[in-house]
Amino acid sequence: MRVPPIVFVAAFCWARSSFADGAFPDELSVYLSASAPNRILLGTNFGLVISEDNGQSWRFVCEFFLTRNQNEIVNFYKVGSDGAVIALSLAHLWRTTDGGCTWTLAGGTVSSMAVPDAFIDPNDPSFVVAIGNNPSGSGLYGSHDGGLTFGAAIYAPTTAVLVSVEIASTPGVIYVTQVDNTGNSYLLKTADGGAHWTRQQLSVPSGNEARIMAVDPVDPNKVYLRLLSFGAGTDAIGIATDGGRTLTTAITLSGGTIYFSSFLRASDGTLFAGTTNGDLYVEAPGETTFTRRVGPRTRCLGQRPGSSRIYACGDATLDGYNLGYSDDGAHTFQPLMNFTQISGPLTCQAVNDVCAVWYAMLLQTLGVGVDGGTPNRGGNGSSSHCGAVGVIGSLGPLLVRFFRRHRRATRPKPYSRG
């Protein structure tokens, strides 16, 4: 059985707009590459947090270093098997190949479009697909240089909106979900890289928006979908086979107060689904139903290929960590990292020059004490980047707005994957 080079599951990212009481830094997704066994990447609402020594130390590149626009939000990151990382806002896509020190803005067809989703081919990291939306329609566009330049549409623009995209571990197989103007959801599939497509309406009520959580790495005909209806106040996990002709609903949450927050198809075939209130639903191989456990508030779940360890983003206040791990099949989790352990921006000068002030604000937001310009962590980490504390007085209102706009809402944002 072929194992994909990247196994990654991101959080169901929540809406990050301005709310009454400001924002607290949050983790959104975890990325674990087989090609870099000591690297852990954590997508957050203030930038990309990076460890190159398996969680012993952490640094970050602030979101503003990419966007240079305090009003533009990076919704999620994607990681290729070659180590390249792409970042997506609703308006732009960037790519880095040097660990985050330099980022290049994507060009070509999608440069003037909204880009709600993209995916790096697990078989060939030079191939990236992105959904592009503009007033003339919604289409799927391909890049053959790792996401630097996008060319012609491989699925022609249509008035029905493309919602999410994922490439399977089987070469040539791509899935896209779509919603038409009457609220019906569809699953699109190609087995030849986009030359020919099938389109199957999903058997869900109108108003249920289907988003791809994962394509099974062993069975490319099996797709795990999130079926979310704000109108009905429901959130469900569905399993589609036969190109969407068969759809089984595995779990449904109703009432509009609890939502799914994470999903993982582990390497042994176990399915995990976390919720916003700390429930963890588990379906072991050979079983047909999910059982419920008490778990952390898993904003993300992930597993490195070739390892049984499971990682989970947690609530720092309620769970005691921002990133934890489990070596017993997600029965219990141990703390790995708290944001207070971030030592500062990446050491490359360009990132440090821009991100030092954001780091100072991060410390202030976390409640880390500052004495004479030096943060008092009470833990590990360098304080060499804290000279920016002195400028907080002049930039404070700007930075407060920066974190406030990343506030998690009571409704989840569309699910994103890597």
Q: Tokens 């404070």: give the residue.
A: 396
Helix (H) or strand (E) holding 163: strand 161-167
Nearest of 63, 55, 99, 101 to residue 380 by alpha carbon: 55
The edge-to-edge listing of strands for the beta sheet with 279-283 is 260-265, 271-275, 279-283, 291-294
Q: How much is the CA Rg of the chain, to the nearest whole Å?
A: 20
| Distance of alpha carbon 191 from alpha carbon 173, whole angstroms | 4
pTM: 0.86
pLDDT in the model for residue 394 = 42
pLDDT in the model for residue 27 = 75
One-letter amino acid of 295:
G
pLDDT tens profile 347-386: 999 999 999 999 999 999 998 854 433 444 433 333 333 3
Structural tokens at position 110:
């999608």
pLDDT in the model for residue 25 = 76
Beta strands in 202-350 (DSSP E): 209-215, 223-229, 234-241, 246-254, 260-265, 271-275, 279-283, 291-294, 300-303, 310-313, 323-326, 334-337, 342-345
pLDDT in the model for residue 230 = 86
pLDDT along the chain (418 residues), means of 10: 36 31 66 93 96 98 95 93 95 96 97 96 97 96 98 97 97 98 97 98 94 96 95 95 96 94 96 96 95 93 95 94 97 97 98 96 83 41 37 44 39 41
| Distance of alpha carbon 376 from alpha carbon 342, whole angstroms | 13
CB atoms within 10 A of CB 52: 15
Ramachandran category for residue 116: left, alpha or beta (phi over 0 → left; psi -120 to 50 → alpha)? alpha
